[in-house]
Structure 1
């Protein structure tokens, strides 16, 4: 039986607890950590847990009866708490974003290597059937090389969304919609297409006066093979439509699933290739579905690795770092109005948290807090 502790009992902790309670024969939640006991007790009662309530996560570090820790706290604490848990011999499942800087990511990866424990960064979108099937389809020879990708991470949040004390500042949230909303689609993009060579970007705060961070960003990515991608991240878009589209040599495929394929006429104009469309569609629909999806799928994978004394998780610290590297490149390109070359190094402007805080634009002054 794998023994679980949750650090942080805010809204995202529900997703973790719902997933853990799906595996009652494999794991047991033995501790909830929150400095506000009332919040922890609400979750304890909601899920009928037989667990202890702890106010300071450092008490967990000495407990032998904790094997795996889910970290569900604001981003500015991710690095310190993760490193402490890994050094205490605990496996870690860490909510996104991995950390507020690449320097912190590198220390977290080092701690995972030194401890020999699992560090898995939450990227639950990879564990849904449409994304897994799209990834497999792109990896086949049917669609050909990716030429262009378009990511639309469109969300809508009211201005009072940023009244929460830790949202809307570079010091506590680490960034705006790019880091905290677009992160999942950015992860999917790099998972399917790889890391770019150059990033250019712009960003602004158009609609949220109680936030100093961006609420809209647009990035252009260039790849060494001539391919390109564009990413729009927003919390201003009505309808909250999210989409990722890949235009490849032979066909266009996307999530939500849609397919279109063309072939040339004698004059070079397009003609619909229904034969290829049907072939790709059949390939996609014949792929096996995942046994568990979302947070449950990722937690199933982490539990399986612990049970098998393995560390072969899909999103480890190195994978989690790639997303932060892309987001950091977008921020640096937007701040400097210059193209940014990847990979980023320790000399880059925003490699450290101190570098981010020194150069990040404060679009507004955050005043209201709850």
Structure 2
């Protein structure tokens, strides 16, 4: 019989998408309670998904023995403290992106999680699209050859009404702009495919909206595996696209351009000759089509809990994504390339907020 884990969801915004993931994993998870300061949205989610309990009392969740997992879906500045309290109270944690506001917080959470003997899983649900999984399969089978160049475009549209939400567009509460909150999924795919970055040079600007944080950015990246990458992000594109293109020795791969599901099929896999294309096509046919997004990530998290192994997305994965952000902000402010890894002696290790690192 499948073990069912009991969940408390904190938040009522992006939490709606999490609830769909739980709905499709009803044999694995039961959402016991939704906690939100916004009563209208919180109660509406309860009604839509058949959750019998609503509360505004976050603190009460940590002491309950009928909850196994706390799912943090709040604005970013709350993520660390809620995750810490959950782990220290003996709960597993699922936490939305961006995970935390510094690499120091990620490293501290690693120690907290180890001491608690509980698991924490950052959210990177875009990994589980069939197109991206096909690329991972081809790499594992040695069919791509050496990596040369990756280009990633996150070109979305966010007009002023989007930033009317109180916590958006502010360093103190959103912790960053489009680089952190919008392009982070596509940039996680870069790390998921190629591993960590080695050096970053970045230009950032606020061009589209009157907000504190960046809404346009261009990055040149050296990867640790020796390949290069060019990343661009803007919230000023009237035609919204997300596009990932990978150039390997034996294969060129391109994603679909749909902005919010770019990991899904149909991706294009173009080999250099007919013989290799046949080998690639044979390997592609081996990839099983599964659920994707939150549904698949939650399914894999259930497996990790039952089998007592690392979650499908780890703190190290989140650290790689936030190291890219940290290095890009530092490069933009200094006008210099920034090497990785980011260690404790780096000026932005404890925070990348604008005043960080200043005497």
Q: Distance in 2 between matches of 1:226 and 1:31?
A: 47
Match of 1:105 in 2: 106
Aligned length in residues: 345
Is 1:253 paired with 2:253? Answer: yes
| Conserved? CA contact 1:149–1:245, under 8 Å | yes
Match of 1:358 in 2: 355
TM-score, L = length of structure 1: 0.89
Q: Give how far 1:357 is off.
A: 3.6
Q: Give how far 1:27 is off.
A: 2.1
Is 1:53 paired with 2:54? Answer: yes
The higher radius of gyration belongs to 1
Structure 1: where are the runs of 5+ without partners? Answer: 263-272, 361-370
1:81-160 correspondence to structure 2 within 5 Å: 81-160=82-161
Q: Distance in 2 between matches of 1:277 and 1:252?
A: 11
Match of 1:337 in 2: 335
Secondary structure of residue in 1 paired with 2:275: helix
Match of 2:5 in 1: 2
Q: Give how far 1:342 is off.
A: 0.5
| Conserved? CA contact 1:134–1:254, under 8 Å | no
Match of 2:213 in 1: 213
Secondary structure of residue in 2 paired with 1:207: coil
Q: Give how far 1:67 is off.
A: 0.2
TM-score, L = length of structure 2: 0.92
Q: Give how far 1:168 is off.
A: 0.3
Q: Distance in 2 between matches of 1:278 and 1:322?
A: 35
| Conserved? CA contact 2:154–2:234, under 8 Å | yes
Q: Give how far 1:37 is off.
A: 2.5
Q: Distance in 1 between matches of 2:269 and 2:94?
A: 35
Match of 2:263 in 1: none
Match of 2:281 in 1: 281
Q: Give how far 1:312 is off.
A: 2.1
The answer to which of 217-226 and 168-177 deviates more is 217-226
Q: Distance in 2 between matches of 1:278 and 1:27?
A: 41
The alpha-carbon distance between structure 1 residues 224 and 14, as it changes in their structure 2 partners (threshold 3 A), is: closer
| Conserved? CA contact 1:118–1:316, under 8 Å | no
The alpha-carbon distance between structure 1 residues 36 and 261, as it changes in their structure 2 partners (threshold 3 A), is: closer
Q: Distance in 2 between matches of 1:223 and 1:186?
A: 12
Match of 2:322 in 1: 324
Q: Distance in 2 between matches of 1:285 and 1:29?
A: 36
The answer to which of 161-170 and 230-239 deviates more is 230-239
| Conserved? CA contact 2:34–2:42, under 8 Å | yes
| Conserved? CA contact 2:12–2:38, under 8 Å | no
Q: Distance in 2 between matches of 1:148 and 1:159?
A: 35
1:193-208 correspondence to structure 2 within 5 Å: 193-208=194-209
Secondary structure of residue in 2 paired with 1:238: strand
Structure 2: where are the runs of 5+ without partners? Answer: 257-266
Match of 1:363 in 2: none
Q: Distance in 1 between matches of 2:223 and 2:310?
A: 28
| Conserved? CA contact 1:202–1:334, under 8 Å | yes
Secondary structure of residue in 2 paired with 1:347: coil
Q: Distance in 1 between matches of 2:144 and 2:201?
A: 27
